[in-house]
Amino acid sequence: MKALEEKIAREGVVLPGNILKVGSFLNQQIDTSFLMEMGREVGRLYAGKNITKILTVEASGIAFAVAIGAAMQLPVVFAKKGDCNNVSGPVYSAKVHSYTHGNDNFISVPQNYLKSDDRVLIADDFLANGCALIGLCDIVKQSGAEVVGAAIEIEKGFQHGGDDLRAKGLRIESLAIVESMENGKVVFR
Amino acid sequence: MKALEEKIAREGVVLPGNILKVGSFLNQQIDTSFLMEMGREVGRLYAGKNITKILTVEASGIAFAVAIGAAMQLPVVFAKKGDCNNVSGPVYSAKVHSYTHGNDNFISVPQNYLKSDDRVLIADDFLANGCALIGLCDIVKQSGAEVVGAAIEIEKGFQHGGDDLRAKGLRIESLAIVESMENGKVVFR
């Protein structure tokens, strides 16, 4: 998505440790009009695929998932991290390693929010090593539902999580794929 | 908002400890079309107030804030809980007690996401004791910006956080106010 690449080049900041900071428009501060435009782009990419549900993980995936859900008129489900005492009943869960925070998290979804006949589109803001995406795919499989594909705002191509999952047959549509970030300059694939 | 009251009466579940579970349409699973309708309702309530930014707190406030931002064509900022090593630079922060999780959280917003000339609408999914709302107001005040008001999906009127803040002059628009939840029956104010 050309408009996203231009926005990253203009407003993104590269920090030490291969961290791409897009908090000013995509993450902690959200350019809502642009977000909804990204949602419509994903709707176009996955049109006609009979998707029934958008699945993401809290917190930073929620905004993108809502934009896709609004564009496609589909419900959004998000996996929660850790334990939560106001979730009742059985859950599907998976362990996900976070390289950003340097720890493991369990993520979970109440079982009644995923049905075996659901056709699920997984949405997330970033794809790097693919840990979150693998965990979300695992949760969908536990439910017996089908993963139709994934939609990602920004993929860090140089970390190869996306390539590995594509090689295994997962359709991944990333709106921007960063090939390198050397010397603070973002190069797209 | 009559449609929200009807939806809560139809799909909400009252759990022990005055917990109102609306996860099936408003929280962990989101009826996106209805969410966007709530966003438009808030846009109507705060029309003409020259709001420049929507502020919420992760995670469950994000969806509602995005819906309002989309309706009003305004950016959304969310406060993060705890520490995060990919936030750089100075932040405004406040301590918030969570009755749901039984602990204290610091919430914070990078200083460059709130300007002294911003006119801020605070959005959140629930208002009970008002702790999150007070923390978010505190953060706005630190920035020198103005709190125009708050928009809440569901206020638990019997916990009086909303009444206390209204008595102090804060405009709060709650789309549904639950007056009581005795014997599993939800009564609206």
pLDDT tens for A124-183 read 999 999 999 999 999 999 999 999 999 999 999 999 999 999 999 999 999 999 999 888
ipTM above 0.90, yes or no: yes
Give residue B88's pLDDT: 65
Asked if the Cβ–Cβ distance from A100 to B86 is below 8 Å, we say yes
Asked if the C-beta of A116 comes within 8 angstroms of chain B's C-beta atoms, the answer is no
Instruction: State yes or no: pLDDT of A101 exceeds 80.
Output: no
Average pLDDT (A41-62) is 97
Q: What is chain B's mean pLDDT, rounded?
A: 93
Average pLDDT (A46-75) is 97
Give residue B83's pLDDT: 59
Asked if the Cβ–Cβ distance from A59 to B80 is below 8 Å, we say yes
**Is the torsion defined by CA of A171, A77, A128, A8 positive or negative?**
positive
Mutate which: A11, A19, A28, vs B, most B CBs within 10 A: A28
The residue to which tokens 């420049």 are assigned: B52
Asked if the C-beta of A187 comes within 8 angstroms of chain B's C-beta atoms, the answer is no
Instruction: State yes or no: pLDDT of A83 exceeds 70.
Output: no
Asked if the C-beta of A189 comes within 8 angstroms of chain B's C-beta atoms, the answer is no
Give residue B87's pLDDT: 55
Give residue B85's pLDDT: 44
Question: Containing H/E element for A20?
Answer: strand A19-21
**Assigned token pair, B79:** 């406060």
Beta strands in A43-140 (DSSP E): 53-57, 76-81, 91-98, 103-110, 119-127
Residues of chain A with pLDDT > 70: what percent?
A: 96
3-state SS class at A134: helix
Asked if the Cβ–Cβ distance from B33 to A113 is below 8 Å, we say no
Q: For A25-29, A32-36, A72-76, A171-175, which range has the lowest pLDDT when averaged over its residues?
A: A25-29
Give residue A86's pLDDT: 47
Asked if the Cβ–Cβ distance from A29 to B69 is below 8 Å, we say no
Give residue B86's pLDDT: 47
Give residue A24's pLDDT: 86
If pLDDT is split at 50, 70 and 90, which confidence band does A85 have? very low
Mutate which: B14, B30, B87, vs A, most A CBs within 10 A: B30
Give residue A88's pLDDT: 65
Asked if the C-beta of B86 comes within 8 angstroms of chain A's C-beta atoms, the answer is yes
Q: What is the pTM of this model?
A: 0.94
Give A37's contacts in chain B (Cβ within 8 Å): none
What does the DSSP 8-state code read for residue A183? G
Asked if the C-beta of A146 comes within 8 angstroms of chain B's C-beta atoms, the answer is no
Give residue A87's pLDDT: 55
| One-letter identity of residue B28 | Q
Q: Which of A21, A59, A76 sits opposite B32 (nearest CB)?
A: A76
Map chain B to HEC letters: CHHHHHHHHHHCEEECCCEEECCCCECCEECHHHHHHHHHHHHHHCCCCCCCEEEEECCCCHHHHHHHHHHHCCCEEEEEECCCCCCCCCEEEEEEEECCCCEEEEEEEEHHHCCCCCEEEEEEEEECCCHHHHHHHHHHHHHCCEEEEEEEEEEEHHHCHHHHHHHCCCCEEEEEEEEECHHHCCEEC
Asked if the Cβ–Cβ distance from A24 to B58 is below 8 Å, we say no
Instruction: State yes or no: pLDDT of A189 exceeds 50.
Output: yes
pLDDT in tens, chain B (189 residues): 999 999 999 999 888 877 888 988 888 999 999 999 999 999 999 999 999 999 999 998 999 999 999 999 999 999 998 855 445 689 999 999 877 778 888 999 999 999 999 999 999 999 999 999 999 999 999 999 999 999 999 999 999 999 999 999 999 999 999 999 988 889 999
